[in-house]
Structures are given as C-alpha cells and as structure tokens.
Amino acid sequence: MRKILLTVGVVLAATLTACGTQAGNGDAGGSIKLGAWLPLSGPQASGGLPQEAGTQAFFDQLNATGGIHGRPVEWTPVDNAFDPQQTIQVARQLVSRDRVVAIVGANGTATTEATFPFVLEQNEIPIFGTYGGSTSWYDPPRDGLFGSQTLYENQARAAAQWALDEGAKKVTIIRNDPAAFVNVGAVATAELEKAGAEVSTVEVKLGTTDYSPFVSQIRSAATDAVLTILPIQEAAAYLNEMALQGVKIPSYGYSPTIGNSLLDLAGANAEGFRAVSLTLPPTADNPEVEEYRQALAKYKPGEKPDFYSLATYGSAKAFAQILASIDGEITSESVTDAIITSGTLDTGVMPPLTFSADDHLGTDSVVRVQVEGGKFVSIGDFVSPQ
C-alpha cells in the first residue's frame, strides 16, 4: 500500500485572500501548494495509482532542479476511492486546510464535478488537467476549469474514424451501462452512422467479469469491427473471451482501455488491439518520453512506465510551464490568468496545449496506437477527429 502524502501547511491568516486562497504563498521562498483527488484504493485504483506516480515523479524531478523560480512545488494527492461524496471532503481539506492554490492532476468526471460548487464557485480555486471530463464543462467555458486531454467524446469520434478508415461497414459497440459510457457510445454511433456504417450496441453491466454471452452476441452479429467503451479490466476480459471463442474481429478502444494492466491481463490476446491515446506510448523512442521514464525510475522505483502515468506527467509538466510564466505572487488568481495567457504549451509527450479566455480545453488531438509484439506502438502522429 502506498503512503499517501497528506501535508498540513502552516498558514498565516493575514495572507489569506477573500476567496480563501493564500495570496503570495511562500513569496519569501515557501512552497507552492497544489493538490488532487485520486482513487488510490478500490477498484479504480489501477488507474489512480499510476496517475499519482506520474504527477509525483514530475514534481520530484522539478524540485530536484530548483522548482519554480527557486520555490519547491508541494503536490498533495488524497485518496477519494472514486466516490463523489468523499471527493467533496477531500476538496475541503485541500482548500481549507492545506491552502492549495490549484487542483492539478485530479481524476474522474463525476467525482470532480461534485466539487465545482465549493472549489470553483465558492473559493475560485482553478482545476487543471482532470483525467476525465465532459463537453458540458467547456462549452461554454467554466471559470477556473481547464482541460489538458481530449474529451472522451472526441476520443470516440477518433476511434470510430479509425475503424472507418480501415474499411469497417458493420460495427458493434460494446460498452458499460452507466451514463458516461452510454454518452460516449452514442457519439461513436452517430459518427459511424454519419459515414453509412451499420451499428449495433451490446450493453454490459459495469464490473462484469464473464464476457462469454456478450462475445457470443458479437459473433452472431457477423460484425466486421468492434468498438470497446470499457474500463481496462473489462477490455482485457473481452479480449480474452474473444480469443477463447476464436472470434477474430478488429477491435478498437479509447484511452481508458489501454495501459500495462491490459497487457498483463490479456497477454497475447491483446495483440493487434487498436486504441486512441492521449500521449505517445510510454515505450516510445523519444527524448521527452525517455526523460519521463528516467524520472519514474528514480522517484517511483518499481513503477512501470504506463499510459496513465505518462498522461499525468505530461499534464504536470504543462502546468509547471504555466507557473514558471508568472512574474510575481503565485495565487489562484494569478495561476488562472497565466493559464489563459500561456500561449502554446509543448511537453513533447502529449499534444501541444493552447488555452484562451474563450477556450478552456487545451487540445482535441489523440494518437493512434496498436499492440505489436506485446507492446503499444504509435501509428502516425497526433491527429484531431474530423
């Protein structure tokens, strides 16, 4: 079990602003306080733990080289077990007790949205780079909320377009039953039908481990491509059952379906699986990805390079560029202003991010990846769905 950092800062009341943030926190050399909520326990920990590792590895690496203008960054991740009510309590701790100036690298759409009234509206603390999100967050832009990854809806469009590019005419979408999965499936369906493809849907209850009846449905449908809208454990169960039943149909996924766990759980049955990714593969021959691997090995020994940790490493790297651009006090207000005026943020591991007052979603690009020889390799460069 990992030890979760829960640092309590010493806060002087005279330095608090009206919105509850710490104005000029550490101007005389103190730390820059950031925080996040992550599922570090429970069934979603397989995503939350590597996400914590990627962000922490970056900030440890940053601090080892002098931090931001000589000030260390103190990033506090707190376990929320992927529960919205627990997340609200975590948010209160980070804002009211730990006095963070921003939330960076949090996880979850429903969990993060539950904090909006307290974090964004009452305390005006910016949230940057949530792993998740929905179109309604950014259209219209919400004050203080900034996304660093392509939304699931655009991931679905990009995955559907890949299947179409490879000649798919009859596609089955297999997805879980909660609303977030239903919405992504609906977007993919619309994209496929717009191009004239025939689409059917197989709905699976979230947490299912036996995929035999669902693969039987797919086999009976005589489909020529399958789009998986599933978490990583269930994507592996699907691939294993496809192999067990001898069904060989090209399968596509979105970013939650890829990671070390898929390769560990599905093994050779994952060979040929295609998905759209938020980042280059963690095994890519790229200087910035190599820098990430070195940081992970040094500051999180034993942690394997993974899509989840690379995505949060890249997001933290972009946020550090924002902090470095601030000339003067680092407060929630100055952080928000810096994000809007940051120009293009290029991390080398994810698509370049660009924000403005009218656009709080930094990118809509993904890269196509495929399992070849037991690892994910990129197919081409970053692309945006048409």
For the domain that residue 314 is a member of, what is the CATH number? 3.40.50.2300
Residues 200, 115 share a domain: no
The reply to whether 44 and 166 lie within a common domain is no
Residue 109 shares a structural domain with residue 193: no
Neighbouring C-beta atoms of residue 362, cutoff 10 Å: 27
120 and 33 together in one domain: yes
- pLDDT tens digits along 227-285: 999 998 999 999 999 999 999 999 999 999 998 889 999 999 999 999 999 999 999 99
Distances (CA, A) of 229 to 107, 157, 178, 201, 290: 18, 12, 11, 11, 30
Strand runs (DSSP E) across 124-240, as ranges? 127-128, 145-146, 170-176, 198-204, 225-229
Residues in the chain: 386
Same domain, yes or no, for 378 and 236? yes
**Would you say 239 and 273 are in contact if contact means Cβ atoms under 8 Å apart?**
yes
65 shares its domain with 114: yes
Cβ atoms of residues 260 and 281 within 8 Å: no
**Residue 227 falls inside a structural domain:** yes
Q: What is the domain extent for residue 333?
A: 13-149+284-355
pLDDT for res 7 = 32
Quick check: is 188 in a domain? yes
Task: Report how many domains make up the chain.
Answer: 2
pLDDT, residue 47, reads 86
pLDDT at 21: 37
Can you give the pLDDT at residue 13?
Answer: 30
pLDDT of residue 16: 31
Return the pLDDT at 22.
37
Looking at the structure, tell me whether residues 192 and 317 fall in a common domain: no
Bridge partners, 68 (sequence order): 71
Same domain? For 156 and 130 the reply is no
Q: What is the pLDDT of residue 52?
A: 98
Assess whether 21 and 120 both reside in one domain. Answer: yes
Ranges of the chain with pLDDT below 70: 1-29
Rounded distance between C-alpha atoms, residue 309 and residue 258, angstroms: 12
- Identify any residues that bridge with 67 across adjacent strands, giving them in sequence order: none
* Both tokens assigned to 142: 């919400």
Residue that is written with structure tokens 């991740």 in the block? 77
Euclidean distance between CA atoms 104 and 220, whole angstroms: 46
Give the number of other CB atoms < 10 A from CB of residue 209.
7
